[in-house]
Amino acid sequence: MSVQEFYNRLFTNPKLKETFKNEIMLVEIILCIPVSSAVCEIGFSAMARIKSDWRASWNIKIFTS
């Protein structure tokens, strides 16, 4: 039995869903947790580049040269 078959059998069978209600809820919560935080860190890095002291010092000369 593959993982997908097991998943489908467990989550689509009403009797099993009622029997293992708490376990299924725990599995659904665990599956929502991201495996890594790389996406968040990329966003924070981009924000640091955009909102910096260098940005506050921009003037017209930067755009006309």
pLDDT in tens, 10-31: 778 888 888 888 988 898 888 8
Domain ranges of the chain: 3-64
pTM above 0.85, yes or no: no
Is 24 in contact with 11 (CB distance < 8 Å)? Answer: yes
**DSSP class per residue in the chain:** --HHHHHHHHHH-HHHHHHTHHHHHHHHHHHHS-S--HHHHHHHHHHHHHSSHHHHT--HHHHH-
| Reported confidence tier of residue 54, pLDDT bands at 50, 70, 90 | low
